[in-house]
Amino acid sequence: MRNVSWAERVAAVLFILMISFFFIKSWRYDYNFDLWQKQNFIDINGSMAKILKMNGYYSDLGMYITDDNYIVSAYPKTSTDYEYQQVMALKNSLDKAGINLVYVNKPVKYTDDEWFTEQFGTETYGNANATLLMERLSNEGVFVIDLRDNILEDHMNVREMFYRTDHHWTTRSGLWAAKQIAEGLNENCGYSIDTSIYDESNFEMITRESCWLGEQGRKVSQAYVGLDDYTEIKPKNETHYLFATADGNEAGAFEDFIDETIYDLNANVYDSPSWHYSYMQRECHNEDIAYGKVLLVGDSYDQTTEPFLSLGISEMDYVVLRDVDEQFNLEKYILDNDFDTVILCYAQFMIGAHDDEDSANYNMFTFVK
Amino acid sequence: MSFTSISFLFGFLPIALLVYNVIREELREIALVVLSLIFYAIAAREFLILFVISIIVNVLCGRFIYFIKKQIGLKKFLLFAGIIYNIGLLTYFKYFDCRISSFIGISFFTFKAISYLCDVYGEKVALNNSPIHDIFFLCFFAQIQSGPLSRYENMKPIESVVREKKQMFNSFAEGTYRFIRGFCKKVLIADVLANIVNEVFSTANADISFRLVWLGSICFSLQLFFDFAGYSDMAIGLTRMFGYECPENFEYPFMTQSVSEFWRKWHITLGAWFRDYIYIPMGGSRVNKRRVLLNLFVVWLLTGIWHGATANFIAWGIGYFVVIAFEKISGYPLKFKNMIMKFIYRVGTILFINFQFVIFRSQSITQAIGYIKSMLMYSSNSLADARCSFLLRDYGIFILAAIIFCFPIVPFIEKRIVKKRVIYEVWQTVHMICLGAGFLWAISFVVAGANNPFMYANF
């Protein structure tokens, strides 16, 4: 046996103390093991990745980080055939029943695939896939609102529309999108919504700075990407709603779309619920509006879109296809409930999800069985 | 349960150390057997019963062989029965049952069991009165997953040599140091480089470039070394923490002048096993040249097949046979008098080993040929080159660290300063602080979910 230095002996004592201490602190009273100081370790990992400027280190978790701490993802190429075929099948079915169909394409955190390739040396097809599908649908007479075009028209910066640490767009973007969709409904679906109701001046905005960490940020750590700001948006005017509940209807106001208990500034940013989900999609009847019955077939971006859109529509309902059971029949649901308009409102990374059977979003485009 | 998992580090290990240290000395091996079976049950519950049966079969065979010294025929029968049982089990699970990856340590267990039976048969070892020691030798959790392939005669408790408490603590301290060093090698280098390797080797041949394939192959050579050497350090460290000796498995293998020398420094215990239980019983080098070639061919073919029954592993084994046979017959590179020729041969050796690792890593011989073709013929692909630059920028410091620590930098520095007491003390302190910080950083990688299984756990 070689000579052992005093430093090695000290290290051995520290090691045994450390693993013993962590062992004692990590076992909970319910006999589950939950590593003590786990989040600090995640922060150490993120800090080191940041110091070493490892923008692609978390790519195996599907995330790349720009130099200014904006988390983005790459998306694989897809033929769009399945999505095209399903949208067309639904359109044909709705046309027969005289129901409007609108397809809304919601952007991801960048609108130029080449920018991504230049930054990270790897290809992404999120925008190319969306462009291809929108072209195919438009050519077949589907009314398409591609919000990327609206972003260009309004000279907006797409990066300011999203949280840095989350894949969702901000509440302001949800409000902006609601206005774009309302304008589309006016132009193509016989609606006459007063779209000025969506102007920001009609809303109270409460901004909390550096207050929450998005779902992506939790994986790469607060230490790496920092915290995001959050803006709670509520109409200044009084609103009157009826919300569908399990027991019937419940009277309320726009504020009932928001779960303000989530805005806990003292909560642990890793454990607290996502602030994006403080806005809820709800089946509702806006008693201040006389016209319109819309079904929004969407995704989690619409946590913020649907409440704002409902300000200009009498009745709104929503479906998230990844959350329904196998027996659910979308066509039957639409016909049984007499909707006048169906909005397919998808973030563009949903396109191609059907290529992967293990994807949580595998069924998002399965409209007609 | 991997040595780099949180449940092992902060769950199993403290319990095992506590049990080992509070229990009476004569009960320690029993405690380690129980702990090893618990470890195995957590890691591979569905194979626990088969594992226990295998241990019992081998220990019964070994003990009978030992106690019936004069009945040569029966001894021989028991030896062959034991070997056939072990090889049959390994062959079935390795080549006919896809659950091999779940049957933790079956390959290494088989080799240890055969060495135990052969050593007892050859009367190279004296069994003590307790079969518990035999069971412990076969199932000790620190070595069951991927070795090192220690021998029965070497599996001695340190306290039987030196009983002083201070020496025991020194053994524990040395073991701790080795464990932490191995943990850092595995998590901070091997697992990080795995990101590059996995990406490059899963990219279609049409989408890769000359630069990218070279980056992938070099990173794989480094990854495999740090993965397995890291594992071996942890296994050696754990064995010493529990008061036993364990043979070394790596000795800076890239510091080599020839392919033969590389294999004397890489996976040392496997090479020694093939030498002692295949090569030498077949006559070794003390036969005519043709027979030596045949012996070498059998050893390297079996080494290839042991790693996997696919064509790429067989090609990998035969590749080593060709070069090692050349070195043995021709006497090169030892015959070279010229330093330049020696240097050229040394570079050629490293390149050959790198190509061999490409064959080893590939999913098929077709992929290996395609990959090596891309390494030999320059091709440019702007996207692949951009990706290569990005990976180098992102992982450059890890690649650099891996290259540096492939060579005996630390022993070199220590040798130079060991007599300068103050400088040496400062060095030791800084060394330990860096290692401690590295250990915390490594834990952060594991907690963040960037942890891969040990590569040799699949063999």
How crowded is residue B333: how many other Cβ atoms within 10 Å of its Cβ?
20
Interior angle at CA B134, CA B129 and CA B136, nearest 5: 120
Residue A229, pLDDT > 90, answer: yes
- Which phi and psi (to 5°) does residue B105 adopt? 75, 10
What pLDDT, on the 0 to 100 scale, is given for residue A247?
Answer: 87
Q: Give the gap in angstroms from C-alpha B89 to the nearest C-alpha of chain A.
A: 35
Among A312, A310, A311, smallest CA distance to A296 is for A310
Question: Distance between CA A288 and CA A315 in Å, rounded?
Answer: 11
Question: Distance between CA A97 and CA A149 in Å, rounded?
Answer: 30
Residue A215, pLDDT > 80, answer: yes
How crowded is residue B455: how many other Cβ atoms within 10 Å of its Cβ?
20
Determine the residue among B10, B19, B170 to mutate to test chain A binding: the one whose Cβ has the most chain A Cβ atoms within 10 Å: B10
How crowded is residue A248: how many other Cβ atoms within 10 Å of its Cβ?
7
Considering only the beta carbons, identify the residue of A7, A42, A56 that sits closest to B428.
A7
Question: Distance between CA A333 and CA A322 in Å, rounded?
Answer: 16
Question: Distance between CA A298 and CA A318 in Å, rounded?
Answer: 7
Distance from the first to the final alpha carbon of chain B:
16
Residue B451, pLDDT > 80, answer: no
Q: What is the DSSP letter of B45?
A: G
| A/B interface, count of CB pairs below 8 Å | 126
What pLDDT, on the 0 to 100 scale, is given for residue B416?
Answer: 93
The pLDDT of B358-381, averaged and rounded, is 93
Determine the residue among A2, A5, A77 to mutate to test chain B binding: the one whose Cβ has the most chain B Cβ atoms within 10 Å: A5
The contact set of A with B (CB < 8 A) is: 1-2, 4-12, 14-16, 19-20, 22-23, 26, 33, 35, 38, 41-42, 44-46, 48, 52-57, 59-61, 117-118, 120-123, 219, 221
Residues in chain A with CB shorter than 8 Å from the CB of B441 are: 44-45, 48
How crowded is residue B290: how many other Cβ atoms within 10 Å of its Cβ?
8
Considering only the beta carbons, identify the residue of A1, A16, A46 that sits closest to B174.
A1
The reply to whether residue A12 touches residue B173, judged by beta carbons under 8 angstroms, is yes
Name which of A134-143, A325-334, B120-129, B156-165 the model is least confident about.
Answer: B156-165
Strands in chain A per DSSP E: 64-65, 71-72, 100-106, 143-146, 203-212, 228-235, 241-245, 248-252, 284-286, 293-297, 315-319, 341-347
Question: Distance between CA A88 and CA A91 in Å, rounded?
Answer: 5
The pLDDT of B429-453, averaged and rounded, is 86
What pLDDT, on the 0 to 100 scale, is given for residue B130?
Answer: 86
pLDDT, tens digit (0-9, with 9 covering 90-100), for A35-48:
888 889 999 999 99
How crowded is residue B206: how many other Cβ atoms within 10 Å of its Cβ?
10
Residues in chain B with CB shorter than 8 Å from the CB of A54 are: 394-395
Confidence of residue B200 (pLDDT cuts 50, 70, 90): very high
Token pair in block for residue B133: 């020691």
What pLDDT, on the 0 to 100 scale, is given for residue B75?
Answer: 93
Question: Number of C-alpha atoms within 13 angstroms, CB side, residue A302?
Answer: 25
In contact, B61 and B134? CB cutoff 8 Å: no
The pLDDT of B72-94, averaged and rounded, is 93
The reply to whether residue A121 touches residue B387, judged by beta carbons under 8 angstroms, is yes
The reply to whether residue A19 touches residue B445, judged by beta carbons under 8 angstroms, is no
The reply to whether residue B450 touches residue A15, judged by beta carbons under 8 angstroms, is no
CA torsion B253→B255→B256→B259, rounded to 10°? 40
The reply to whether residue B387 touches residue A15, judged by beta carbons under 8 angstroms, is no
The pLDDT of A179-207, averaged and rounded, is 97
The reply to whether residue B176 touches residue A4, judged by beta carbons under 8 angstroms, is no
- Which phi and psi (to 5°) does residue A33 adopt? -100, 120
Confidence of residue B156 (pLDDT cuts 50, 70, 90): confident
In contact, B235 and B148? CB cutoff 8 Å: yes
Q: Which residue of A has its CA nearest to B382?
A: A121
pLDDT, tens digit (0-9, with 9 covering 90-100), for A290-308:
999 999 999 999 999 999 9
Residues in chain B with CB shorter than 8 Å from the CB of A10 are: 432
Residue A269 contacts by C-beta under 8 Å, 6 or more apart in sequence? A212, A213, A218, A222, A227
CB-based contact, B440 to chain A, within 8 Å: yes
Token pair in block for residue A62: 């599907």
Q: Which residue of B has its CA nearest to A220?
A: B448
Token pair in block for residue B349: 């050796």
According to DSSP, the residues that pair with A230 across neighbouring strands are A208
What pLDDT, on the 0 to 100 scale, is given for residue B308?
Answer: 84
In contact, B309 and B94? CB cutoff 8 Å: yes
Question: Please, what's the b/e burial string for B376-405 (b: 16 or more CB within 10 A of its CB; e: otherwise)?
Answer: eeebebeebbbbbebbeebbeebbebbeeb
Interior angle at CA A64, CA A61 and CA A68, nearest 5: 140
Q: Which residue of A has its CA nearest to B212?
A: A121
Q: Which residue of B has its CA nearest to A64?
A: B394
Q: Give the gap in angstroms from C-alpha B10 to the nearest C-alpha of chain A.
A: 5
The reply to whether residue B447 touches residue A55, judged by beta carbons under 8 angstroms, is no
Residue B160, pLDDT > 80, answer: no
CA–CA distances in Å: residue A311 to residues A235, A249, A301, B366? 9, 18, 17, 62
Confidence of residue B309 (pLDDT cuts 50, 70, 90): confident
Question: Distance between CA B70 and CA A267 in Å, rounded?
Answer: 76
Share above pLDDT 90 across residues of chain A, in percent, rounded to a whole number: 87
Determine the residue among A32, A34, A42, A54 to mutate to test chain B binding: the one whose Cβ has the most chain B Cβ atoms within 10 Å: A54
What pLDDT, on the 0 to 100 scale, is given for residue B452?
Answer: 55
According to DSSP, the residues that pair with A279 across neighbouring strands are A258
Question: Distance between CA B446 and CA B5 in Å, rounded?
Answer: 7
How crowded is residue B82: how many other Cβ atoms within 10 Å of its Cβ?
25
In contact, A105 and A135? CB cutoff 8 Å: no
B 180-239 residues inside an 8 A Cβ radius of A: 180, 192, 195, 198
The reply to whether residue A42 touches residue B387, judged by beta carbons under 8 angstroms, is no
Residue B391, pLDDT > 70, answer: yes
Confidence of residue B455 (pLDDT cuts 50, 70, 90): low
Question: Distance between CA B158 and CA A281 in Å, rounded?
Answer: 67
Residue B315, pLDDT > 90, answer: yes
Q: Give the gap in angstroms from C-alpha A124 to the nearest C-alpha of chain B.
A: 12
Q: Please report the sign of the dihedral spanned by the C-alpha atoms of residue A269, residue A274, residue A276, residue A282.
A: negative
Question: Distance between CA B175 and CA B239 in Å, rounded?
Answer: 7
Asked if omega into A307 is within 30° of 0 (cis), the reply is no
Q: Would you list the DSSP string of B58-77?
A: HHHHHHHHHH-TT-HHHHHH
Q: Which residue has the higher pLDDT, B155 or B325?
A: B325
Question: Distance between CA A367 and CA A85 in Å, rounded?
Answer: 10
The reply to whether residue B15 touches residue A23, judged by beta carbons under 8 angstroms, is yes
Which three-class secondary structure state does DSSP give residue A347? Answer: strand
Among B133, B140, B120, smallest CA distance to B51 is for B140
What pLDDT, on the 0 to 100 scale, is given for residue B94?
Answer: 82
Question: Distance between CA A170 and CA A342 in Å, rounded?
Answer: 24
CB-based contact, B397 to chain A, within 8 Å: yes
Q: Give the gap in angstroms from C-alpha B325 to the nearest C-alpha of chain A.
A: 36
Angle formed by the axes of helices B48-67 and B106-121, to 10°? 10
Considering only the beta carbons, identify the residue of B171, B394, B448 that sits closest to A55.
B394
Do the interacting molecules here have an ipTM over 0.90?
no
Name which of A74-88, B117-131, B288-302, B316-330 the model is least confident about.
Answer: B117-131
Token pair in block for residue A307: 């409440």
Question: Distance between CA B47 and CA A236 in Å, rounded?
Answer: 66
Q: What is the DSSP letter of A53?
A: T
B 154-183 residues inside an 8 A Cβ radius of A: 158, 167, 169-177, 180
Question: Distance between CA B432 and CA B415 in Å, rounded?
Answer: 17
Token pair in block for residue A154: 């309004």
Residues in chain B with CB shorter than 8 Å from the CB of A4 are: 170, 173-174, 177
The pLDDT of B297-318, averaged and rounded, is 93
pTM of the model: 0.88
B322 by Cβ neighbours in 10 Å (0-12 / 13-18 / 19+) ranks as: middle
Residue B54 contacts by C-beta under 8 Å, 6 or more apart in sequence? B85, B86, B89, B109, B113
